[in-house]
Structure 1
Amino acid sequence: MRRLLPLLAGLLLLVTACTTAPDPDPKPDRDPSSDRWRPKPGLAWQWQLSGRLDPTVDVPVYDIDGFDHPASTVQDLHARGRKVICYLSTGAWEDFRPDAARFPKSVLGQGNGWEGERWLDIRRTDVLEPLMAKRLDMCRDKGFDAVEPDNMDGYRNRTGFPLTAADQLRYNRLIARLAHDRGLAVGLKNDLDQIPRLLPDFDFAVNEQCAEYDECGRLAPFVAAGKAVFHVEYELDTGEFCPQARKLGLSSMLKKYELGVWRKPC
């Protein structure tokens, strides 16, 4: 009997192997953000929001208006080897956008200093989340690699609403999540005070005039984390800010306020 036990055990294993289908290879649900673009420090860039787009600037990154340009423009820039950032205003309403009528008057606050623009009540995520989701759908569908959500520091301004730092954190994280859900990288625009808390949520930063206001050092956490900081100055000469920008690892250039074709990089 002792000699039969191994034989019976072997026959049992053989039957089990023949009658039990092998488990398929596990294929976890694909995270749409797992392969999104993650720009590294030091990348040169072009930021053009006005005038006829010049696609020939020899830089690896373009930041252009998401509404103003069709998918064919993004495709052309990709064919030229560029990554393309979709500029959107997510913290302010603009009366010239095609979806402007979808924003109820209750979420429109004071002007933000630009003609036709008003701050949004970012506490009203019930209203704003679906509207911003549609805008980010547009960026994704046009083939953009990333989004630059603008006016993301309303709590530091006179908006007409009692916005708090907590309101801003909640809203900024919402926009970052919506972008990531669509496979888009997302940049933190200005909002220097909240960098320590928002750094994990954003893939890069976009900053205006940190040198003029002696604030560029506050962007160092992005560079230390291997994340690009795309930076412009308007009032200073390149000799006044480029040495520090290079030392900090910023992607810096001089632009004019209208953000046309002209640029003077560091």
Structure 2
Amino acid sequence: MPPATRELPMRIRPAWPVPRVRPARAARCGLHRALPAVVGLLLLAPVSGCRTELVPPGAPTPWPVESGRRWQWQWQLSGPLDVTVDADVFLLDPARTTSTETAALRARDRRLICQVNVGSYAGTDPDATRFPVAVRGAAVAGRPGSRWLDVRQWDALKPVLADRFRLCRGKGFGAVALADADGYLHRSGFPLGFDDQLLFNRRLAALARSLDLSPGLVNDLPQVAALAPDFDFAVNEECVRRRECAKLLPFADAHKPVFHVEYAGSPTQFCVTTVGYGFASIRKDRDLDAWREPCPLP
């Protein structure tokens, strides 16, 4: 007679995809574990039975000085992720990127940076309703459905932003790039000053480190000199076109990576400037799909 079979327990499918990676050891059955705080962000339903555990990196991403002038990088926020790109560093959207993709990249010893909007939110974000009405400001120019946040209201913003960072950690990222960390330069709907932004950005860098993430600053060139000691790397858009690359030298002089992108012009022209500064530079389309044209290594 055929061996008796047993009925497997029914698994409830969560409302939002649960990130998974291959565990370092066999998964254990028993009480399920909910991801702390990320549950609210991802709107997960309870999961019963056995499941594999997420395996985040063991420490924040290191940026060894001896590799400073040899980094090659990729910035992709749209289209199917190409994990085969010949780059050492990948800057990705943590919501779009799966744990399977991050695991594949980490298996090849790639450094992974997640991009988190810290000074704004989109109406389509899963956690959009967590932002109190009082911190929601004016629309972000050129991005329908997105609004600036009042970065002076740290107590209201910290729990939501901490969960965004935890999502990065849970999916296997070891670094976080803080985007829209320059609301004081825009019509945010709030009377934000230079010092308001400086305090907010320093708090975010400390928060990232407390969650074992290496913090990076996106743009915000007027504050680079003040913030370079607080951050591990910088990400910049079009400093050549804007003639502002020298403002990033506090990072380069401290042997911290500067990941730079231009959306127009020939790399044979702008690479002479940026590689000379010690930046890792590429040419990209503005939609930040998989295509890239990197500068040659020095």
TM-score by length of 2: 0.76
Contact 2:74 2:91 (8 Å CA) reproduced: yes
Which residue of structure 1 lines up, in the alignment, with residue 153 of structure 2? Answer: 124
**Matched AA of 1:73:** E
CA distance in 2, matches of 1:223, 1:188: 13
CA distance in 2, matches of 1:213, 1:87: 23
User: In the TM superposition, what is the alpha-carbon distance from 1:130 to its structure 2 partner?
Assistant: 0.8
Q: Does residue 191 of the first structure (1) align with residue 220 of the second (2)?
A: yes
Which residue of structure 2 lines up, in the alignment, with residue 236 of structure 1? Answer: 265
Q: CA RMSD in A?
A: 1.6
Which residue of structure 1 lines up, in the alignment, with residue 185 of structure 2? Answer: 156
Which residue of structure 2 lines up, in the alignment, with residue 58 of structure 1? Answer: 86
CA distance in 2, matches of 1:247, 1:55: 28
CA distance in 2, matches of 1:104, 1:181: 24
**Matched AA of 2:125:** R
Q: Does residue 204 of the first structure (1) align with residue 220 of the second (2)?
A: no
Question: In structure 2, the residue corresponding to 1:123 is in which secondary structure?
Answer: coil
Kindly report structure 1 stretches of 4+ aligned residues shifted beyond 2 Å: 32-36, 38-42
Q: Does residue 175 of the first structure (1) align with residue 204 of the second (2)?
A: yes
CA distance in 2, matches of 1:90, 1:131: 9
User: In the TM superposition, what is the alpha-carbon distance from 1:212 to its structure 2 partner?
Assistant: 0.4
Please point out which of 84, 102, 127 is paired with 2:130.
102
* CA distance 1:117–1:39, shift in 2 (3 Å): farther
Contact 1:39 1:204 (8 Å CA) reproduced: no
CA distance in 1, matches of 2:70, 2:245: 15
Which residue of structure 1 lines up, in the alignment, with residue 278 of structure 2? Answer: 249
Which residue of structure 2 lines up, in the alignment, with residue 9 of structure 1? Answer: none
Percent identical pairs in the alignment equals 45
Which residue of structure 2 lines up, in the alignment, with residue 37 of structure 1? Answer: 62
User: In the TM superposition, what is the alpha-carbon distance from 1:39 to its structure 2 partner?
Assistant: 5.6
Q: Does residue 265 of the first structure (1) align with residue 294 of the second (2)?
A: yes
**Matched AA of 1:106:** A
Residue deviations 1:94-114 (CA, integer Å, cap 9, x gap):
111111111122211111121
TM-score by length of 1: 0.85
Question: In structure 2, the residue corresponding to 1:97 is in which secondary structure?
Answer: coil
Question: In structure 1, the residue corresponding to 2:74 is in which secondary structure?
Answer: strand
User: Which ranges of structure 1 fall in alignment gaps of 5 or more residues?
Assistant: 1-31
Contact 2:221 2:247 (8 Å CA) reproduced: yes
Contact 1:145 1:184 (8 Å CA) reproduced: yes
Which residue of structure 2 lines up, in the alignment, with residue 138 of structure 1? Answer: 167
**Matched AA of 1:133:** A
